[in-house]
Amino acid sequence: MVVASAPAALLTINDVSKAFPGVKALDHVTLEVRPGRVHGIVGENGAGKSTLMKILSGVYEKDSGEITFDGNVIDKVTPVESMHMGLAIIYQELNLVNTMSVGENVFLGRFAESGGRAGVHAKARALLDSIGCKVDTHKQVSELSVSDKQMVEIAKALSFDSKLIIMDEPSSSLTNDEMQKLIKIIHELKAKGIAIIYISHKLDEIFGFCDVVTVMRDGHVIDTRDVSSITRNEMISMMVGRTIENEYPPRPECAGETILEIKGISTRKLRDVKLTLRKGEILGLVGLVGSGRTELVRALFGADRVAGKSILLDGKPVEINSPKDAINLGLAMVPEDRKLQGLLLGFAVEQNISLAVLARLTKRGFIDTKGESSISDRQIKALNIKTPSGRTKIRSLSGGNQQKAILGRWLEMSPRVLILDEPTKGIDVGAKYEIYLLMKKIVEDGGSIILISSELPEVLHMSNRVNTICDGRINGEFDPAVASADEIMAKAFEFA
Amino acid sequence: GSGTATPAAPGAAGSPAAGMPTLAFIAQMQNPSQAFSWKMYQKNAAKYGFNVINLDNGGDVQKQTAAINNAVAQKVAAIAINPVDEAGYVPATTAAMSGGVVVCLSMVPPAAAAINASTCSVSVDDILGGQTAAKAIMAAFPNGATGVEIGGQAGHVAANNRHEGFSKAVAGTNIKVLDYKNPTAWDTAQAQAIANDMITKYGDKIQFIFCHWDNGATGVINALKAVNQPWANKVLIIGVDGNKTGFAQVQSWPNYISIAQNAETITSKVMEQSMKWIKKDSSAVKANIIPFDVITKDTIANFTAPEW
Amino acid sequence: MSASTQRLGGRVNSQTAINLLKSNPIFVAIAALAVVTSFVEPQFLTGENLNNIIRQFGTLIFAALGMTLVIMAGFLDLSIGGIIGLVAVVTVTLIDTVGQGPAILIGLSVGLGCGLLNSALIISSGALTQAESLFITYGMSLVYGAAALMYVQGVTQFLTYSKTSIALFDTINSGGIGFLSVSAMIFLVCLAILYVIERRTYAGRAIVLTGGNKVAARLAGIPISRSIVIIYSVSGVMAAIGAVVLVSRVTLADPTMGTPYMTQAILAVVVGGTALIGGRGSVMWTVVGTLLLILLNNCLNLLEVSTYVQYMLRGAILIMAIWLDRVKQTSVSK
Amino acid sequence: MNARIIEVSKTVLALQKAFLAIILVVLAMAVFNMIPATRSEFFSQVNLVDLLKSSSIFLILAMGETVTLIAGGVDLSIGGLMALTGVVVIQLINAGVPIPVAIALCLLLGLVVGAVNAFVSVYQRTEPFIITLGMGIVLTGIGLQLTDAHPVTATDQGFQSIANTEIFGPVPILVLVMLAVVAVVYWMLRNTSFGRNVYAVGGDYEVAKYSGINVLRTKAATYLICSLTATLGGVMLASQLNSASSIAGDNTPLYVVCAVVVGGTSVAGGIGGAIKSAIGLVLLGILTNAFSMLRIDTLVSYLPTALLGIIIVSILWLDSYGRKRKREAV
Ligand SMILES: Nc1ncnc2c1ncn2[C@@H]1O[C@H](COP(=O)(O)OP(=O)(O)OP(=O)(O)O)[C@@H](O)[C@H]1O
Ligand SMILES: Nc1ncnc2c1ncn2[C@@H]1O[C@H](COP(=O)(O)OP(=O)(O)OP(=O)(O)O)[C@@H](O)[C@H]1O
Ligand SMILES: [Mg+2]
Ligand SMILES: [Mg+2]
């Protein structure tokens, strides 16, 4: 099956299986990775991609099968051992110590070897410069934006003289510009003969710079092909097990009157932002990382206290001082940081889903637990969430399924205004399509959506209207049906 | 608790009467008996020619050392110390004495090894207190008896001495001590819990209970009342302190003896002797033992109950 | 604490109850202790001793029940030692001036007030981590303790010296129907209320959700601040109830009498199996934890173990109980 | 260079509250000293040296505790261990064991206790708060049993000189030992791989693990260090007092941990430092001392305890509030 010829395999995965309670995450997986190749891995959420990588890096232990890396059979490795063997990994969930500086994070666990305080910062500086990241190495990681953190992670992986670098959805929070840098880095690595495993849900990237692609589904490897020998539609149908005609549903129509009007929101970053949203409309917000999109919607939703805020709902001024106020007014928000702001990891799926409507499920102070279960069952079914049951802890679901559960949480309250901050981050094409359909259904039912996404095509295809936000100001409005992507991006780049 | 200081009379803040030497009283101020002693110091200070201040040792040797050092830094003439244990104060008071401060150990006598670590001592002898309790029991049960002992805070100097005096005095006699337990603090609830368990285990074999402090004995009485048995009412209880509760219990419980240490007498003696040592009076006495008063139904009329 | 009983929202059937019994080392520890003691000391199994144990259950169980909610929400309350002392002296000193009933009510309000003050400090400062709450309440315990000492000038207050009736306290201490004492009834009522709150109500769910992930819960509209107010108020009031029961039992009030309960209550909660990190636990488990602590004291006393050896055993058994619980949990999750 | 300045000023800012509080206390005492009625001996050399002396043992203990806290653990057995060590070292010396051997044996005892703490709480993943509390109770019990609850006094006067011999003027060896411990821990936390790993483990356990840090061993080592400083503190305390009592450490752990936290070390792990902890302890020491010099009890007895509580709460409140403001400002 492996079409790629030439260099001998650096990594051979032979017949590897891994089961978690209730899930067969990997089922007799076989795979070969060759040096100097970018090996893409695609597959729906929960296909087992991350699990496979975690087995390679020693986080999980495989149940059966054989792995050979660089001529050595790896049976049981610890993360340290795998690193020292020359296998570096950028995990899907961010993997930095928030309380430490950027420099120290890059050389985490290698402080003295890297020359102590001075050496760590100097070397980190050099590495970050080489990938075009300007963040100060003395800065504490907790103060970085998500994308800066991602760049630090990449620098960290580069800091090992690795033979194989695994990137598990590195691009999910990078901007275009940073993505270009990453692609450049990948090409450089490749030229040095380093193998790269690149996991992504963005098929453009697979076709853009991967040499080989493996498609996984439900713990199986469906096929491994040279990228040049596969078409986009073929790949999609291999992933989801059926053909999808379009990646995006037709754009919903919108003709409603204004429902929400932001007369002005000012914070340290935002400068008197004004915004209107019509009934049944999907409004896209496009901006660079750090432009203030998240800050804007958080302020709107009452998640952050802000100095100046004036909001009209149905033409009437409303006070939103907490998320609870917002929810009571029919607003909903899917936050950008799933793990920190969305999930209650130690709780069951059903309790995660019922969260936003809990007050509604409460009669005279008591929770209707039957109602709670039926709600969650309904959402699990409607959103096709892969989970053994509603009682399963959400911790054990794959990233995409966790995201769907959070969406379900908000859909249950039939929001009038749904704010989606990077809703499809880390979500497979199939599920993405479902989410798009859901968005369509919401607006058709009379709800409105504010959509923030770093994936421009997504915004362009789904929105009725796009506002660009630049350095804390709204600086442009476009009709995505007519405006080109370049036009919009140019505006988003334009600094005042 | 922290090291704290107070000048003599309330209201005399910061204006110590000119020329009067200062005496620092160092004790654990959360302990009601020691808080009462402090009142007695304040009451009689003028009479003995002292300004008195008070420093809390918080029941901790390190804080006690800090308090002694604090007192020395404040240039006191005398220190009266009610120590946390029998030994921990020694280096600090020795240093204080070498700086010319008179150190008077109050309540407890110095241990043999610490005899030079204080200028003088004014004490009830807790060993004697234990013996007194034993004698009272022997007198009440000439034909022998069995009972239990509930000690004070484990490791506390008074508890150790009372236990030592008591167990030595009953050794070899027809008085049998079935059990001895200490609480982790001078805590009535714990004394009561221990009494409960002992009553459960030994039942009417308990003819006497020696409890190291009157407030703890309140718990003992509660425990005895709770079993609601005729034998329980006959139990002889011996408490130490002779405070208001002790007096009340002598009157209310059928058979109660309180071994009293008179705080006013002791504190007055401390000030009297300290002043003599400051003035290098030839009549100064190094070891002053204040006898216990034994308060029983028969003798109670001879004493007035203190107000704590 | 098998995976199935960790689920919130009730529906614990008899099967899981049996599993719980089988797999819970705390139960095993208690059972072993009781068996050994009853062999060595027949007095252990007498009704009298059971009564005795129930009585000793008193204050600790109230303090621990309140602490359970606090810990489930991912916070800690070290101020209960101070609150117990303060409530005790306030209640006893007020009997003569306002009468026994109002005195108790005022005592309970003091507990409530302290709890509200704690929550106000925590909310206003945004001290949302367990550690922050731990030290703020530790500081407050010094304040409450000192307030109690100042209020009575360090002097022990005696219930029996009251000039007016203290019948209510006597009833709390020794009254009862059949074998059920009044304090046991108060306990059962409190337990029932807290259990229902914890399992069935919005407020209870909000509390565990707060312990699960404060940020996510808040963004989903769960009122975190209200949970904080509730847990500290409940903790303050439960400590105050404990103080009243304590006063009734030992017939005196000492400003420092609450000190031992500060760590004891946390121990009882955690020994019961409620996770110190929040988000998992139950008041029912706390009853078990408290039982273990009380039985430990009772059994060691009955077995004539010396005070000093008791210290060692108490510490060692605590370590073992928690360790075994952990070992069991890892084997379950594997 | 700029970054360095920012880093340094950030450190100073982080120290701010406790540090500012110290400055305020000192200023207040200076002002009071200008008023005859409130003049005190606060600034006398005797008092300042005393202040150092009486904080020294707490400081030694606090250094180990700081390391454990930064790694995300906590050790409440230090009081029991300190007391037991004092008892054991004196009993050994009185039994004729040479002093250095006795001290070495005690350090060994500390390692054993630390190893048990580490094994149960780190390797078995239990709650250190409770485990070490239990361990403290065990150790107190052993001390009580060894001494029958009586204090023990060293017969060899040489032992006393270890802590008390004055070298630089009135400054005794004890203070130098304390300074050495602070310096070593400061250096270790800042400049060694182990030290930085401690921060990583406390900052994010999982991340540290996946980054190849031996998290278990690192965390376990912090318990050994904490036990070692507690043992050292116990030996120094016994030497300072020439005696030891098995109940000496009762209130020590909470006091030390509280002071460390007031200094700015986070109990959640990942944040803190030797100097911060030292400042926290010095602050509580200075406060107690100042209250005592000012005789605040004159106004209302027991007021100092209340004030101490209020000041602790205020500093922590301000600290949390500052973090909240920072969160909200983003
Ligand atoms: N620790 C775990 N415990 C139990 N089940 C797990 C665990 N980790 C993963 N799983 C399950 O294994 C399956 C594969 O998960 P994995 O994270 O590898 O998916 P993925 O392909 O990376 O998906 P995504 O694209 O959403 O990241 C999923 O069904 C997931 O629920
Ligand atoms: N923890 C933090 N500390 C300091 N500054 C921060 C922090 N988080 C974000 N910022 C800054 O706040 C500003 C607004 O960030 P915001 O998250 O709203 O941007 P965004 O447009 O949503 O970008 P992203 O794609 O990263 O979500 C940016 O300048 C960002 O760098
Ligand atoms: Mg994944
Ligand atoms: Mg954003």
- Alpha-carbon distance of C292 to C311, in angstroms, equals 15
CATH of A247-330+415-496, one of 3.30.70.270, 3.30.70.980, 3.30.230.10, 3.40.50.300: 3.40.50.300
SS (H, E, C) chain D: CHHHHHHHHHHHHHHHHHHHHHHHHHHHHHHHHHCHHHCCCCCCHHHHHHHHHHHHHHHHHHHHHHHHHHCCCCCCCHHHHHHHHHHHHHHHHHCCCCHHHHHHHHHHHHHHHHHHHHHHHHHCCCCHHHHHHHHHHHHHHHHHHHHCCCCEECCCHHHHHHHHCEEECCEEHHHHHHHHHHHHHHHHHHHCHHHHHHHHHHHCHHHHHHCCCCHHHHHHHHHHHHHHHHHHHHHHHHHHHCEECCCCCCCHHHHHHHHHHHCCCCCCCCCCCHHHHHHHHHHHHHHHHHHHHHCHHHCCCCHHHHHHHHHHHHHHHHHHHHHHHHHHHC
Segment C1-50, tens digit of pLDDT: 333 334 433 444 555 555 655 566 777 777 888 888 888 888 888 877 87
Of D210, D272, D281, residue with least CA distance to D74: D272
- For position A247, what pLDDT does the model report? 75
| One fold for A11-240 and A247-330+415-496 | yes
Q: Is B107 helix (H, G, I), strand (E, B) or coil?
A: strand
H or E, element range at C240: helix C224-250
D111 or D270, higher pLDDT: D111
- For position B2, what pLDDT does the model report? 38
- Alpha-carbon distance of A219 to A17, in angstroms, equals 8
Interface partners of chain D (CB pairs < 8 Å, 3 or more) are A, B, C
Is C121 a domain residue? yes
Residue boundaries of the structural domains of chain A: 11-240, 247-330+415-496, 344-411
- Alpha-carbon distance of D2 to C212, in angstroms, equals 40
How many CA atoms, within 13 angstroms, populate the side-chain half-sphere of residue C16?
11
Residues 6+ apart with CB under 8 A from A273: A262, A264, A265, A266, A292, A296, A469, A472, A473, A474
Neighbours of C23 (CB within 10 A): 17
Residue B5, chain D, CB below 8 Å: the answer is: yes
Q: Which residues of D touch B67 (CB under 8 A)?
A: 292
CB of A40 sitting under 6 A from ligand 1:
no
The number of distinct structural domains making up chain D is 1
Residue C313, chain B, CB below 8 Å: the answer is: no
- Alpha-carbon distance of C124 to C55, in angstroms, equals 39
Q: Do B215 and C254 touch (CB under 8 A)?
A: yes
Q: Which residues of D touch A79 (CB under 8 A)?
A: 209-212
Angle at D15 between CA D10 and CA D17, to 5 degrees: 120
Structure-token pair, residue D87: 């008892």
Under 8 Å between Cβ of A164 and A197 = yes
- For position C122, what pLDDT does the model report? 94
- For position D21, what pLDDT does the model report? 80
Of A81, A98, A195, A92, residue with least CA distance to A142: A98
Residue D157, chain B, CB below 8 Å: the answer is: no
- For position C197, what pLDDT does the model report? 93
SS (H, E, C) B7-45: CCCCCCCCCCCCCCCEEEEEECCCCHHHHHHHHHHHHHH
Residue D3 in this model has a pLDDT that exceeds 80: no
Going by CA atoms, what residue is nearest to atom 25 of ligand 1? Answer: A45
- For position D110, what pLDDT does the model report? 96
Q: Which residues of D touch A270 (CB under 8 A)?
A: none
Residue C68 in this model has a pLDDT that exceeds 60: yes
CB of A293 sitting under 6 A from ligand 2:
yes
H or E, element range at A332: strand A331-334
H or E, element range at A196: strand A195-199
Is D33 a domain residue? no
Q: How far is the CA of C194 from the centre of ligand 4 (A)?
A: 41
Residue B114, chain D, CB below 8 Å: the answer is: yes
- Alpha-carbon distance of B223 to B219, in angstroms, equals 6
Region of C278 please: left (phi>0), alpha (psi -120 to 50) or beta: left
The number of distinct structural domains making up chain C is 1
How many CA atoms, within 13 angstroms, populate the side-chain half-sphere of residue B136?
27
* Beta carbon pairs, C and D, within 8 Å: 155
Structure-token pair, residue B96: 């204080």
DSSP category for residue B115: G
Q: Is B53 helix (H, G, I), strand (E, B) or coil?
A: strand
Segment A401-457, tens digit of pLDDT: 888 899 899 988 889 999 999 888 777 777 788 888 888 888 888 899 999 987 788
The full DSSP string for A141-170 is GGGS-HHHHHHHHHHHHHHS--SEEEEESG
Minimum-distance ligand 2 atom for the alpha carbon of A295: 18
pLDDT category of residue A176 using cuts at 50, 70 and 90: confident
Average pLDDT over residues D218-238: 96
Lowest mean pLDDT among B121-125, B145-149, B274-278: B121-125
Is D180 a domain residue? yes
- For position B148, what pLDDT does the model report? 95
Average pLDDT over residues B225-248: 90
- For position D298, what pLDDT does the model report? 63
- Backbone φ and ψ for A276, nearest 5 degrees, come out as -130, 150
- For position B7, what pLDDT does the model report? 37
Under 8 Å between Cβ of A337 and A399 = no
- For position C8, what pLDDT does the model report? 39
Residue C102 in this model has a pLDDT that exceeds 80: yes
Segment C254-267, tens digit of pLDDT: 898 998 898 889 88
pLDDT category of residue B110 using cuts at 50, 70 and 90: confident
Residue D226, chain B, CB below 8 Å: the answer is: no
A255 or A271, higher pLDDT: A271
Q: Average model confidence (pLDDT) for chain A?
A: 86
Residue C332 in this model has a pLDDT that exceeds 60: no
- For position C4, what pLDDT does the model report? 38
Is C76 a domain residue? yes
Q: Which of C188-197, D6-15, D141-150 has the highest mean pLDDT?
A: C188-197
Structure-token pair, residue A351: 């309790």
Average pLDDT over residues A285-306: 85
D50 or C75, higher pLDDT: C75
- For position B4, what pLDDT does the model report? 39
Q: Is the pTM of this model over 0.95?
A: no
- For position C9, what pLDDT does the model report? 38
Residue C190 belongs to what domain range?
Answer: 58-267
How many CA atoms, within 13 angstroms, populate the side-chain half-sphere of residue A396?
16
DSSP category for residue B119: S
Q: Out of B182, B200, B218, whose CB is closest to C252?
A: B218
Q: Do A99 and D199 touch (CB under 8 A)?
A: yes
Is D184 a domain residue? yes
A4 or B172, higher pLDDT: B172
Is C170 a domain residue? yes
DSSP category for residue A210: -
How would you classify the pairing of strands A195-199 and A38-43?
Answer: parallel
Residue D229 in this model has a pLDDT that exceeds 90: yes
Neighbours of B141 (CB within 10 A): 17
Is C227 a domain residue? yes
Q: Out of B61, B74, B153, whose CB is closest to D248?
A: B61
Of A376, A446, A453, A459, residue with least CA distance to A417: A446
- For position A326, what pLDDT does the model report? 93
- For position D168, what pLDDT does the model report? 82
CATH class of A11-240: alpha beta
Q: What is the CA radius of gyration of chain B?
A: 20
Is D34 a domain residue? no
Sign, CA dihedral A144-A150-A153-A159, equals negative
pLDDT category of residue A173 using cuts at 50, 70 and 90: low
Residue B9 in this model has a pLDDT that exceeds 70: no
- Alpha-carbon distance of A339 to D199, in angstroms, equals 22
CB of D35 sitting under 6 A from ligand 2:
no
- Alpha-carbon distance of C289 to C273, in angstroms, equals 8
- Of chain B, the percentage scoring pLDDT greater than 70 comes to 94
- Of chain A, the percentage scoring pLDDT greater than 90 comes to 33
Segment D282-309, tens digit of pLDDT: 998 888 888 888 877 766 778 888 888 8
Residue A110 in this model has a pLDDT that exceeds 90: no
Segment B242-296, tens digit of pLDDT: 888 899 999 999 999 999 988 888 999 999 999 999 999 889 999 998 888 899 9
Give the nearest chain B residue to C304 (CA atoms).
B179
Of A443, A353, A337, A359, residue with least CA distance to A394: A353
Q: Which of A220-229, A423-432, C127-136, C323-332 has the highest mean pLDDT?
A: A220-229
Q: Is D160 exposed, middle or buried (0-12, 13-18, 19+ CB in 10 A)?
A: buried
Residue A391, chain C, CB below 8 Å: the answer is: yes
Q: Which residue in the block uniquely carries the two structure tokens 């003091």? A: C110
Neighbours of C43 (CB within 10 A): 18
For chain C, how are helix, strand and coil distributed in percent, rounded to 5?
Answer: 80, 5, 20
How would you classify the pairing of strands B236-241 and B208-211?
Answer: parallel
Ligand with the closest atom to the CA of A392: 1
Among C150, C179, C251, which would you mutate to test the B interface (most chain B Cβ atoms within 10 Å of its Cβ)? C251
- Alpha-carbon distance of C327 to C316, in angstroms, equals 16
- Alpha-carbon distance of A201 to A113, in angstroms, equals 37
pLDDT category of residue D41 using cuts at 50, 70 and 90: confident
Give the nearest chain D residue to C139 (CA atoms).
D309
C102 or C56, higher pLDDT: C102
Longest dimension (CA), chain D: 65
Residue A3 in this model has a pLDDT that exceeds 50: no
Alpha-carbon torsion angle A408, A410, A412, A414, nearest 10: -140
Residue D282 belongs to what domain range?
Answer: 2-28+41-329
The full DSSP string for B254-305 is TTEEEEE--HHHHHHHHHHHHHHHHTT-TT--SEEEPPPEEE-TTTGGGS--
H or E, element range at A20: strand A11-20
CB of A20 sitting under 6 A from ligand 1:
yes
A21 or A195, higher pLDDT: A195
Residue C151 in this model has a pLDDT that exceeds 50: yes
- Of chain C, the percentage scoring pLDDT greater than 90 comes to 44
Q: How far is the CA of A255 from the centre of ligand 4 (A)?
A: 28
Is D268 a domain residue? yes
State how far Cα A399 lies from the chain centre: 8
CATH number at residue D105: 1.10.3470
- Alpha-carbon distance of D93 to D71, in angstroms, equals 35
- Alpha-carbon distance of D236 to D159, in angstroms, equals 10
How would you classify the pairing of strands A316-318 and A362-363?
Answer: unpaired
Of A118, A124, A61, residue with least CA distance to A96: A124
Segment A302-347, tens digit of pLDDT: 988 787 788 999 989 999 989 999 999 999 999 988 888 999 988 9
Under 8 Å between Cβ of C258 and C101 = no
